[in-house]
A and B are shown apart, each in its own frame.
Chain A
Amino acid sequence: MDFSGLIDNFGPLTVTGLAQGAIIALFALGYTLVYGVLRLINFAHSEVFLMGTYACLIVWGFFGLDQNSAAPGVGGMLLYLVIGLVVAIIASGVTALAVELVAYRPLRRRNAPPLAFLITAIGASLFISELTGVLTHRNQRGVPPIIQAKPLFTIGDTTVTNLQLLIILLALVMMFALDRFINGSRLGRGIRAVSQNPDSAALMGVNKSRVIALVFLLGGLMAGIAAVMYDLKIGVTRYDAGFLLGIDAFAAAVLGGIGNLRGALLGGLLLGVLQNYAAGLFGSQWLHAASFVLLVVILLFRPTGLLGESLGRARA
């Protein structure tokens, strides 16, 4: 086996992996939040992310930006970035709420078995991604160069670009804010109560429906931010982008312990970094195979993920 590919590029692979992992972690939060409260895999979360990747492209298109336009100045860059983030957050949040309303709420009213929720979520996912596929003629769409990746500083022989730093920092800030919200606010206490015991929480006066909608919304917000970061980092999006990255994000959530917010961050970063190492070692086509082998090995020794499931139990 040839280790030189990994050892020579260890630093750059780590930094790229961390940036990729930060996006995966933000995406994974949606799976973890919904799972923590409902004990269900929200299969349609990948499409919540997908809507974010398209929404910011469409709004940048309104400003006459496409993949061939010149990079804007610093002021324009900040303005476009903020607008893109806001629009993507709104689009993803609305999609998440719509999924909850159409695919989850009617079944919850009837106390349907858990598998039924999984299937309606699959149906919603299929509908959104396929409709996007038809409307975009299954072509990929390029992203305007809002942020030009420029080397910012160098550690040893590893250069860190401004974009990588932005992605990692934004993910950390959002994680911290979400953690404070869940553990510190009144609404967050409601979420933790429902995740511990939905019926008792309802009897204690927590509005269960509102908490569930809130959880979907929060997952959508995080996915919207992840979507903009994904656009800027990868440079293109396509109708199946959500599905493909969604598998990684779901794996990351499980790896860290599904239902556990800090687990999602740890799982996402770990998965991103290790995927890049595996790509350096075996070639990029083995990237996903390696991450699943890793997942199986970790689950064998820690069957509930690295940090365990605990949205409600411990203080996350």
Chain B
Amino acid sequence: MTTTTEKATWRSSGGVRGWFGRQPGWVRGIIVLVSAILAFLLPYAAEVPLIGPQIVTEGIDWPSALFNMSYYVLLALGLNVVVGYAGLLDLGYVGFFAVGAYGTALLTSPDSVLYADTGWKWLMAVPVALALTMVAGLILGWPTLRLRGDYLAIVTLGFAEIIRIFATSTTTLRGDRGFASIPHPPGMWNGKPIFGVTDAVPYFWLGLVVIILVILGVRNLDRSRVGRSWLAIREDEEAAEIMGVRTIKYKLWAFAIGAFIGGLGGVLFAGEQGFINSQTFVLQFSILVLAGVVMGGSGNMAGAILGGALISYIPDRLRGISLGDTDLYEYRFALFGLVIIIIMVLRPQGLIPSRRRAMELKDREKEVAPQ
């Protein structure tokens, strides 16, 4: 019932989204296909006259910047499931990214204590590392999901800190020394490995393929019973429980799926870098991803993608640029903080909000109490 009436409103609304919704199916299909192809051509953006040189990064190789964006986007998509769909505030999302990366490293790197027994190829380690992250999601979720709102936030934050402290302080996880020589993804082309050391373009494409698969998977979940349960939990947990939604079960689902996607990001990251240590997984990282999701528009995948791409792109773009004597790269996070404030003050619902959220905000704005 609700879905049909809602669709009717947004289709008839103006703007790009309303126009897109009114097009017949084949037009929408073509538009989606063309944008996917354009995304795959992004590494060659510098060739585009006029606009191209403005877009590409100067201080860092452009394909590498694109790869960075791709795993940030993956993390944003995963966190969007937890925060945007299920409404669970997770401040320690980097923990899952770390579990994915460390899982891969432990199973494949020659520095690992397991190397004599495993010493696997990257591809073999992937399913095990991902299973490990999902288990980590369940372990974190099972005792903590009774907690509401901000209490959950501090516990998830603590979870990420504990993982980081483990990585720093135990000899098995090697702290700062980290794991070197993590193998790259497999595949040969003309007698040379596709995933080499110098060229980041194949990694970006791999990331893009994973992103597209994740989008399809999450979209289907969102439209299923699971997605409707998440929505009910987010809007009013007590009401959802009374109506027979098994809240704990679906919250665990959200955590496990979010963990899985975060783990994917970690596995890709380990495969591209070939080296990880405990310095990568600082708390600021999770907070940055959260800022990306909310800034883009939490609860909407297009928003999460945009937000995830921005949090990686803005600092990378500022690299190697100087104004007079000051190097802007030094100021990147300070400037970034300013950008976050400005975007959120101008658009509290996010850059591309979910339709439901946007309508809610319109209602809320009318209800402002006398100041």
Contact = CB atoms under 8 A, between A and B. Distances in A.
A35 interface: yes
B165 interface: yes
Determine the interface band of chain A, counting residues with CB < 8 A from chain B. 35 or more
Contact of B89 (A115, A209, A300, A304): A115
B352 interface: no
Interface string B335-355: 011111100110011000000
Given A120-B344, A289-B165, A296 B144 contact: yes
A258 B166 CA distance: 28
B325 interface: no
B369 A115 contact: no
Contact of A127 (B168, B334, B369): B334
Contacts of B117: none
B367 A111 contact: yes
Contact of B161 (A127, A254, A288): A288
Q: Which of the listed residues A102, A112, A124, A300 has the most CB atoms from chain B within 10 Å of its own CB?
A: A112
Contacts of A109: 368, 371
Interface in B184-217: none
A124 B337 CA distance: 6
Nearest to B144: A296
A1 interface: no
B331 interface: yes
A198 interface: yes
A106 B83 CA distance: 23
A203 B369 CA distance: 9
B147 interface: yes
A130 B360 CA distance: 34
Contacts of B295: 119
A312 to B, nearest CB: 17
B157 interface: yes
Nearest to B163: A289
Nearest to B338: A127
A134 B334 contact: yes
A131 B334 contact: yes
Interface in A112-157: 112-113, 115-116, 118-120, 122-128, 130-131, 134
A122 B298 CA distance: 16
B148 interface: yes
B150 A41 contact: yes
Contact of A130 (B153, B331, B368): B331
A225 to B, nearest CB: 24
Nearest to B346: A106
Given A128-B337, A130-B331, A254-B154, 9 more contacts: A110-B365, A119-B290, A119-B340, A120-B345, A123-B340, A293-B158, A296-B155, A303-B146, A303-B147
Interface of B: 83, 89, 143-144, 146-148, 150-151, 153-155, 157-159, 161-162, 165-166, 168-169, 283-284, 287, 290-291, 294-295, 298, 330-331, 333-334, 336-341, 344-345, 348-349, 357, 360-361, 364-365, 367-371
Interface of A: 35, 41, 102-103, 106-113, 115-116, 118-120, 122-128, 130-131, 134, 198-199, 202-203, 208-209, 243, 247, 250-251, 254, 258, 283, 285-286, 288-289, 292-293, 295-296, 299-300, 303-305
18 contacts: A107-B344, A110-B368, A112-B344, A112-B361, A115-B83, A116-B349, A118-B290, A119-B344, A120-B340, A122-B287, A198-B369, A202-B371, A254-B154, A285-B165, A285-B168, A285-B169, A292-B161, A296-B143
